[in-house]
Amino acid sequence: MPDISELTSHLNYLKPEDIASIEAAYRLSESAHAGQFRVSGEPYISHPLAVAGILAEWHLDAQALMAALLHDVMEDTAITKEEIGEKFGKAVAELVDGVSKLDKIEFQTEVHAQAENFRKMLLAMARDVRVILIKIADRLHNMRTLSAMAPEKRQRISRETMEIYAPIANRLGLNSVYDELEDLSFFHLYPNRYEVLAKAVRAARGNRREVVGKVLEAIKGKLKSCNIDAVISGREKHLYSIYKKMHEKSLTFSEVFDIYGFRVIVQDVSTCYLALGSLHQLYKPIPGKFKDYIAIPKANGYQSLHTTLFGPFGTPIEIQIRSQDMHKIAEAGVASHWLYKSSDGNINEMQQKTHQWLQSLLEIQSESGDATEFLEHIKVDLFPDEVYVFTPKGKIMAMPRGATAVDFAYAVHTDVGNRCVAVRINHELRPLRTELKNGDQVEIVTAPLAKPNPGWLNYVVTGKARSHIRHFLKTMQYDESTILGERMLNQALRALGANPAEISQAQWDKLLNECSGKNKQEILAEIGLGMRLNIVVARQLLAITENAEERKNSTMAPITIRGTEGMAVQFASCCQPIPGDPIIAFIKKGQGLVVHTHDCTVFTKSRADSDKWLDVEWDPDAPRKPYDVSIKLVVANQRGVLAKVAAAIADAGSNIDNVSMEEVDGSAYTTMLFTLQVENRVQLANVMRVLRKIEEVVRIARVKG
């Protein structure tokens, strides 16, 4: 039977009264879980006891240890959060609640339930990082004892660990836990690959023992001769990192030389660089294989010098050099806040970075539509193979590999991201989609009226940028659709002989009551997005029953199109309507109005579906703006004709957006297809008149469809 004494024997860093509280929490947990057993057959209490033991190794405080002992009682027994709060304090109850799953809530799918659990856990963690430390210790013990589970469940839990928990452990700087979680997941996901690789490593260990011993002695001798006091150890890469390297770089095991590395731990920062210099004298460094994580720490606070050297027999040797304080942080990560004195500058900086990351979770959560979207953003941020770039003032910023200028803009500030129009990288103007590289200096150019572009979602990689862009676009589309929906509803009300201004609040309240809790803005937005018919909503407001004859006789004034409605009104690419064209609009569900020309083939084919077509007309006072339109020219195949045509288009005040040419071998004629930008039909007619005057132009026509 498990015993609390083994745990308390490791708690000499706590006060006696704290240990007494932990023992009381153990007794409550033991009685609550009495008669419950794990799948392995052990009494259930062995699990919370083991989780508390892992946290004791990290020297976490008494509240965290009590929460670890009680972390399953709310989920698996009748004990409530209030009871825990009364007996052990509000902080312990909040920790237990943060770790507990949301099993009692009905979800649409298992995926959604899982995402909701992570959202709750990560938000609780943003308030108190101990939540995630307890959860990681819980997952570590579950992974150590996973063999008792059914194969399918082992696979699911291991994949979840690999995708979420191991990266979070890495993000919080818990390196040894990260390595162990990855190896255990690898073992359960790919048991055959794991065994083959483990066997190869065991064989290589014997073959390379002589080389490792020789290198170890050489390093010790060199550092001693330079009067550098250091602790030197050989370390073996964990299996999953070897497998990942083989998989990513398509290497065989025999091509992976650096399965052995060496760690050099010295007194302080300056000695790290002295040790590096002396080892570069001992063995030649491999160019491009040096990383200074002391000057530029990783996002999780990790600091070390990494260098790869040509060792004896041409074998590459990987060496990490760090101070004792850096080693403590590398092993314990964010837990080092409890494990060591928090006056340490490095620990404080690491806590600050962790706090910033946790705050960014809260920011992303506030703008994510649902739990699965939130989890998608977080997963992106949990795999940061980092690049380090500089702001114009020289501040270093860590970005995930593959991050673009837009990601950087949002990392600086949400407003900078929303207003960015261009970027200077190393003082040169570059496209916003440019991927950032180590050492780039990045300056974002903003404009007060600029807005996020939906196309940015195709190339941003950070969760923060993605969630802010989506949030802005949703809000903008909602606002634009609300305005359009109101115009469409007013049009339908007038057609039914009602004055829109005379619709009372009581009429709206009655309609909203029937629409199960929606508000007026939501109804209008749904009309604008084509999810409700304006005539149906108008009839509901006026309480007119659906009458086919009455509807047939009712005439609606056309809706005016200004061209500035944004995403609520789209112009069909098949016929490219421009001001001056007779137009009609189709209500497309979820997208709002799509405007076509009267002679568009799409309209002529589906005009029988009259419910979805609305009469629209151009607003004569609409602000001028460019519209895309396509024209086709057949020209004599002569030198300089393209330049002549382009010059004529420019002289007529139009801009060329795109040009393509079709040339048949040996033909005397070439077909040119231009996409022009014109303000209206009058300007297009003027452009075509100018082009007809060119001697080489044989035929010209506007292209539709």
Catalytic residue list: 75-76
Alpha helices in 251-323 (DSSP H): 269-282
DSSP string, 405-467: HHHHHHHH-HHHHHHEEEEEETTEEE-TTPBP-TT-BEEEEE-TT----GGGGGT--SHHHHH
Choose among 594, 587, 589, 493: nearest CA to 538: 493
Residue 80 near residue 74 (C-beta atoms within 8 A): yes
Alpha-carbon distance 593 to 530, whole Å? 7
DSSP 8-state assignment for residue 37: B
Whole-number Å distance between alpha carbons of 520 and 547 = 25
Calculate the alpha carbon distances from 409 to 167, 422, 445, 467 in Å. Answer: 25, 10, 9, 14
Burial label for 424, CB within 10 Å (0-12, 13-18, 19+), is middle
Task: List alpha helices for 100-237, DSSP H.
Answer: 110-127, 130-144, 151-160, 166-171, 175-189, 191-225
CA atoms within 13 A on the CB side of 139: 28
C-beta of residue 420 within 8 angstroms of C-beta of residue 432: yes
For 569-599, the DSSP string reads EEE-TTT---TTS-EEEEEETTTEEEEEETT
**Cβ(481)–Cβ(511) under 8 Å?**
no
**Residues 283, 291: Cα–Cα separation, whole Å:** 17
Are 496 and 539 in contact by the 8 Å Cβ rule? The answer is: yes
List residues bridging with 318 in a β-sheet: 261, 308
Inter-residue contact 624 to 567 (CB < 8 Å): no
Please state, in angstroms and rounded to a whole number, the distance separating the CA atoms of residues 98 and 107.
19
Both tokens assigned to 457 = 């979602």
How far apart, in whole angstroms, are the C-alpha atoms of residue 216 and residue 149?
42
Using alpha carbons, select from 329, 464, 345, 450 the residue that is nearest to residue 397: 464
φ, ψ dihedrals at 594, nearest 5°: -115, 115
CA gap 179, 160 in Å, rounded: 15
Environment class of 530 (CB within 10 Å of its CB; exposed 0-12, middle 13-18, buried 19+): buried
CA dist 678 and 200 (Å) reads 69
Q: What are the Cα distances from residue 160, in Å, to 18, 117, 155, 166, 392?
A: 34, 12, 9, 9, 40
Query: Mind giving me the DSSP string for 623-644?
Result: PP--EEEEEEEEEE--TTHHHH
CB 488, CB 614: distance < 8 Å: yes
> In which residue are the tokens 């098949």 written?
574
Rg (CA), the chain: 34
Phi and psi at 577, nearest 5°, equal -65, 145
Q: What is the dihedral of CA 399, 403, 409, 414, to 10 degrees?
A: -80
